[in-house]
Amino acid sequence: MKLKKIITTSFMATALTATAAVNKTDFLQNKQIVQNTNVTGDMYSAQNAFAAVYEKAKDSIVNIRTKKTIVVETYNPLEAFLFGTSGRRQQRRESGSLGSGFIISSDGYMMTNNHVIDGADEIYVKLSDGHEYLAKLVGTSPEVDIAILKVNTNRTFKPLKFANSDNIKIGHWAIAFGNPLGLNSSMTVGVVGASGRSSLGIEQVENFIQTDASINQGNSGGPLLNINGDVIGVNTAIYSPNGGSVGLSFAIPSNLAENVRDSIIKNGRYERPYVGISVLDLSPELKKARKISYSTGILVQQVYPNSPAAKYGLKVNDLILEINGKPIISAGAFIGELAAKKIGETVNLKVYSNGAEKNISMKLESFSYQQQTRQQRR
């Protein structure tokens, strides 16, 4: 309430000051001011485009709240002194969280971040018209930070469409939706600042879109849209020294989120594509030591037996330069690119091996925790 009051008061003070200034000028001066206002047709077109995105998306955004019962231990020193007991008791308390999400199918499937609903006993989704539903958790991917929910009702929902996140470019519009600080159906506008961001220590699989669209607490799980109103990412994290937005926000790319969605709805869990290698970034020290002239790429450190990599001829000390024609900028980005592919899909790798470049077409297999465990034991 205090925040809302400050904003309202500031707006009113600005408006009164502007009115007073205009009253001191004559009609001709006012006319000149209007004539000199540099509002072009392009500006109005952009304004109308943003308004159209809001109208298209607003009924597909959901507010998510959770309920969770936690057990806390309390200590009463007076009880311990008077009655000679330990003074310790366990109490059950109800906790919860707030976040955002969006509708991905007309029959009630919805997407959010895993960390929004993690550990929840009950999950509720609230639509823009005020209707609230108890949602079922279909499945999650903690490594990507995606969760899929389902609302069982006869209602027909309005889903958002996924765009191809491989087509985004630096400078493209990025429009964030969600419920920051509990303020429903909020929209902020920025641009794509970078793609393929990794090694941030946020998730196991990182290939983030970076944007300066303002994202705050409560935005997690909401969509990042392009100027057509289609999903290019799922808002998941911000970099901030004080908890507020400073223009460094990160979203899971839509291709990865869509792949996780399809896997969870089909199998109840995310089945991750598997190659069977460990890789290293090309640090300046590594490039100098190995006399590597390439500015991008990753070094194959290990190839696991009977893996797709071994079957298709990848070797230790090979350099992976591209995947499907896209330069590899880091090990994290490579993992993120693979995670966005489907099991059984063929990827084309450009590799530098034994002094020459070559292309390897590799069919991806399913990653299992048994494979992960075997790899970790080696």
Catalytic residue set? 115, 145, 220
Nearest Cα neighbor of 226 from 164, 183, 179 is 164
Amino acid in position 101: G
Query: Which residues have C-beta within 8 Å of that of residue 184, sequence separation ≥ 6?
Result: 63, 126, 128
Q: Provide the 3-class DSSP secondary structure of residue 356.
A: strand
Task: Please name the residues in contact with 241: beta carbons below 8 A apart, sequence gap of 6 or more.
Answer: none
Please, which residues have CB within 8 angstroms of residue 75's CB and are 6 or more apart in sequence? 87, 88
Q: Half-sphere exposure of residue 75, counting CA atoms within 13 Å on the CB side?
A: 3
What is the H or E stretch that residue 370 is in? helix 369-377
DSSP structure string for 181-203: GG-TTEEEEEEEEEEEE--SSS-
Task: Give CA separation, 6 vs 3, 181, 242, 243, 246, in Å.
Answer: 5, 16, 20, 20, 20
Interior/surface letters 341-366, b for 16+ CB within 10 angstroms, e for the rest: beeeeebebbbbbeeeeeebebebbe
